Amino acid sequence: MKKTFLALSLILPSLAYAAGAQSAYQSADADLKASLNDLSALRQDIKDEQIPLAKELREVQDDLRVKRGEVARIQRLRDNSTVDLNRLNDNVKGRRDQIDYMSNLVTEYGRSLKVRVNLSEQQFFKADFDQFDAIGNNPELSKAEKLSDQLTLVSKGIERIDDLIGGFTFTGNAITPDGTFEEGVFILVGPSVVFSSNASQSAGLALDSGAFAPSVVSLGDELDQSVRSLAASHSGVVPLDATLGDALAIKREETTVIEHIKAGGIWIYPILLFAGLAACTAIFKLFEIYSIKMPQPGSLHTVLKLLNEGKDEEALAYAKSIAGPAGVMLQDAVIHSTESKELIEEVMYERMIEIQPKLERLLPFISVTAATAPLMGLLGTVTGMINTFKLITIFGTGDAKSLSGGISEALITTEFGLIVAIPSLIMHALLSRRAQGVMANMERIAVSFVNGINRKNIA
């Protein structure tokens, strides 16, 4: 009974499970068929809708392609417009730079032309130069307007070159040789400028003298008459100066010795005084020292020979015949020849000491002149430079010509100081050497006399 119940308990759940499994299988199979039907229907729907969607996609892609081409075209147009604008800006900037450059060139040309033309032409171009400066200083005008107006002066400068080649005349004022300010006719041919006065017979070259008007320099009666004829008839011989006035300017700057001395100031006169005294002293000493006669080479030998032979009177007479201080020294030596050698040396040395101051007198004055003349010249230069700096303090350094003239005058004293010192130094050296030569010759004679005397009674 128990076994039967156990078997039933095992079989019944199995049967129940098998029945449930069959039912689940049938249900799953039904669901699978339904899903397959749905998938088949969905695929058919997708197939039905795929062709319209593909057409619509192609249309969208075509429209996108068109839009991209339009965007690219617009981008190219924008880039081209940007490039054109930059190019235009660069062109505008380049034109402005050219205007600035041309304006600077024209301004520089106007300034250089104002400096380059001679003083007589400045009267002719005065109105043009004033207008040129007024245009440059007008703040209301643009650079292009200034350039356009200032080109008028450039045109006149070019016309001036043509006129200079053929020559042209104009009316102006100049300072005549007699110092009067007269109106007349200027004639320009190349770099040469001549002037003929309307009020007088003054004519000649017109030179820039640094004044407010050119100065007229006469060229002589014949050439001056040619200039007057040329001014009257505009035909004739034109005197040309190849040096452009430099030769005449140098000629005008030439001064005489007296004028050169006066330009040196007050300190030039002490220098000249010392120079005169030193020159007189040097000439006097030159005659004094070089007039001293020296004994002949055999004179000392003759005196010694007579003394050694005991002929004292004849030796003394022969010594008296010898001129100059050496003869006097030999006379004293012969008189004391019987004494000792030491005494003879003392006697001869005394004569040498006696003659030495006479030989060397006034020579120190020449030496002092050689030393003090440059110092006095330097003192004059320093004084002149002080005065020049005073002028700089008052008038400034604008006029370099006047300053160079003051410095040149200040250096004149140094020039004369050296002119006096160098010859004085040379003369002092020559005269001192000659005096030392005389003393050395006397010393040699004295030594030879003492060594050559041979007397038995001399100790």
Residue 236 sits in the same domain as residue 287? no
Do 249 and 296 have their domain in common?
no
CA distance 105 to 150: 11
- The answer to the question of residue 55 being in a domain is no
355 and 330 within one domain = yes
User: Roughly how many angstroms between the first and final C-alpha of the chain, as a whole number?
Assistant: 203
**What pTM did the predictor assign?**
0.52
310 and 420 housed in the same domain: yes
Helix or strand (DSSP H, E) at 195? strand 192-197
Cα–Cα dist 130/202, whole Å: 30
Contact 450, 341 (CB under 8 A): yes
Closest CA to 358 of 330, 391, 324: 324
3-state SS, residue 183: strand
421 plus 284 within the same structural domain: yes
Quick check: is 173 in a domain? yes
Judge if 409 and 272 occupy the same domain: yes
Residues 231 and 279 both lie in one domain: no
Count of domains for the chain? 2
- 198 in helix, strand or coil? coil
Q: Give pLDDT tens digits along the chain (459 positions).
A: 555 655 556 666 666 566 666 777 777 777 788 888 888 888 777 777 777 777 787 888 888 888 888 888 888 777 776 666 777 777 878 777 777 787 788 778 777 777 777 777 777 777 777 777 777 777 777 777 777 777 777 777 777 777 667 677 778 787 777 777 778 887 777 677 777 887 777 777 777 766 667 777 777 777 777 777 777 777 767 676 666 666 666 666 666 777 777 777 788 888 889 889 989 988 988 888 887 777 777 777 887 888 787 777 887 888 778 777 877 787 777 887 777 778 877 888 888 888 888 888 888 888 888 888 888 888 888 887 877 777 777 666 655 566 666 677 778 888 888 998 999 999 989 988 888 888 888 888 888 888 877 754 444
Domain for residue 425, yes or no? yes
In a domain, 39, yes or no: no
Is there a single domain that holds both residue 308 and residue 249? no
Give CA–CA dist 396/47, Å, rounded: 109
Are 216 and 292 in the same domain? no
**Domain boundary pick from 222, 253, 284:** 253
Alpha helices in 177-298 (DSSP H): 221-233, 246-253, 257-262, 268-290
Do 350 and 275 belong together in one domain?
A: yes
Question: Which residues constitute the domain of residue 243?
Answer: 127-253
**Single residue among 227, 253, 279 that ends a domain in this structure:** 253
Based on the fold, state whether residues 203 and 302 are members of the same structural domain: no
For residues 320 and 419, membership in a common domain is answered with yes
